[in-house]
Structure 1
Amino acid sequence: MPTGVLVNGICVVIGGIFGGLFGKKLPKYIVDTLPNIFGISAMSMGISLIVHVSSLSAVILALIVGTLIGETLHLETRISSGLHRILCRNQQSDRQAEFMSVMISMIVLFGFSGTGVFGALNSGFSGDHTILFAKSILDFFTAIIFGATLGYAICITAVPQTTLGLILFFCSSSLLPLLTDPMIADFKACGGMITFAVGLKMSKIKHYNVLNLVPALVLVMPFSYLWGLLPF
């Protein structure tokens, strides 16, 4: 069952409702501090996954090649632009355009983030929902913060987020019989590195176009398998 995906979507909706009701009452220093805590939490999640790596060389190679592919294809820019074209077809006032810009950013953050993509795939591969449960906590409080600005409309972002999560979950679970334990361990380690990059970005330590790293998740298991065949 895609428990983690569903819980994540529900947390965004509940957080959006809380944000619409109480978000404007939050002190500014709390709103400014929480993203740094989110970043530290994401980095901790990443480290907990990286330490179980099986073939570090294969993971690093997948991350390098995957990032080169993502950067060449401008994945993050293309996804953001595509969402903007879909949601902003009509002429809008400056205020409406700003509103839609923030909404698109939230859809990318909640649904298309490295942690979201990795968490859904990991749930399908291993049945471990830990990453998505942790992400649900972060998304809950993030939805409260942005609910103060966008109101209850932030809840709408849970729809594309949950849809994408379910697609990734069911696609990955169908591949499970083909995988070995070292391949899954290396997949988790690669996802941990991407999650760590998400944490750096959230804490404003270093900006990454995180979606451009996601192709590494597709490459890491074939690379891990091939690396295991090498005679050393």
Structure 2
Amino acid sequence: MVLYGTLVNGGLIIIGSILGLFFTKIPERYKETVMHGIGLAVLLIGLQMAFTTEVIIIVLLSLLTGAIIGELLRLEEGLNRLGNWIGSKFTTKNDNFSVAQGFVTASLIFVIGAMSILGALDSGIRGDHEVLITKGILDGFVALVLTTTLGFGVILSAIPVVIYQGAIALLATQIENWLPEAFLNGLIVELTAVGGLLIVAIGLNLLKLTQIRIGNLLPSILTVGIIYSIYYLI
């Protein structure tokens, strides 16, 4: 089953979030310290991914073009509105902001990254779900901890995770017929690097060192494909 790994990943996020709801009453200082720990770990993961780049100019141009597109489309505002709308279906009006924050933050952490892409590709191309199941275990633990601080919105992040990874897995069943292996391998490297920098931004925001509009940088995940294609053909 092509979507097995994706469904397991989404299920583990839900389980972790539900467990996290039972620990929301712990003292704020514990939550703050735990969140700082997560922020530092997210920074490390992002930096490790970012350093994989082989052509830094591709990463730079991808972020620049992605930022322009994101600001024009105001994606960050759209994500927050989506989070607020979903939150309004489950909570009171006063809780909407925290639900939106939990939804957006968790979605970005779980969706952006090498394991999402590589795991989904493995599921689609080789029927190997090990990477996504491993990612699901990690995501479930992170969801548990995030939920203690950010609340119910974290559980809703399972929806974009399943849609995003599921779409890649289904597409991957045919991707080898469309793209040369050398091109695909190079694209994954640069895509991983761009995603890594976005994860670094998430870590900085979690540590409250910055207020980067990460949602407005998301188009760089798409523009890196266009820019790398031009580079590859040249």
How many angstroms does 1:115 deviate by? 4.7
Task: Answer whether contact 2:112 2:199 (CA < 8 A) is retained.
Answer: no
Task: Answer whether contact 1:194 1:213 (CA < 8 A) is retained.
Answer: yes
CA change 1:134–1:2 in 2 (3 A) is: farther
Aligned to 1:157: 156
Aligned to 2:77: 77
Name the amino acid aligned to 1:108: V
Q: Cα deviation per residue 1:48-94 (whole Å; 9 max; x = unaligned)?
A: 112221221111101110111101110010122244346548xxxxx
Q: Does 1:209 align with 2:213?
A: yes
SS in 1 for 2:92: helix
RMSD: 3.0
Aligned to 1:92: none
Aligned to 1:57: 57
TM-score normalized by structure 1?
0.78
Aligned to 2:103: 107
Moved more, 58-67 or 174-183: 174-183
Name the amino acid aligned to 1:198: I
Q: Does 1:14 align with 2:10?
A: no
1:1-232 aligned at under 5 Å gives the runs 1-2=2-3, 5-24=6-25, 26-85=26-85, 88=88, 96-111=92-107, 113=108, 115-118=110-113, 119-125=115-121, 128-129=131-132, 134-147=138-151, 156-157=155-156, 159-170=158-169, 172-174=171-173, 176-177=175-176, 178=179, 179-230=183-234
Task: Answer whether contact 2:47 2:196 (CA < 8 A) is retained.
Answer: yes
How many angstroms does 1:114 deviate by? 5.7
Partners of 1:86 and 1:140 in 2: CA distance? 20
Aligned to 2:128: none
CA change 1:155–1:42 in 2 (3 A) is: closer
Give unpaired runs (5+ residues) of structure 2. Answer: 124-130
Name the amino acid aligned to 2:111: G
TM-score normalized by structure 2?
0.77
CA change 1:47–1:4 in 2 (3 A) is: farther
Give unpaired runs (5+ residues) of structure 1. Answer: 90-94
CA change 1:79–1:97 in 2 (3 A) is: same
Aligned length: 219
Task: Answer whether contact 1:15 1:144 (CA < 8 A) is retained.
Answer: no
CA change 1:141–1:83 in 2 (3 A) is: closer
Task: Answer whether contact 1:12 1:143 (CA < 8 A) is retained.
Answer: no
Partners of 1:44 and 1:4 in 2: CA distance? 25
CA change 1:162–1:180 in 2 (3 A) is: closer
Name the amino acid aligned to 1:123: G
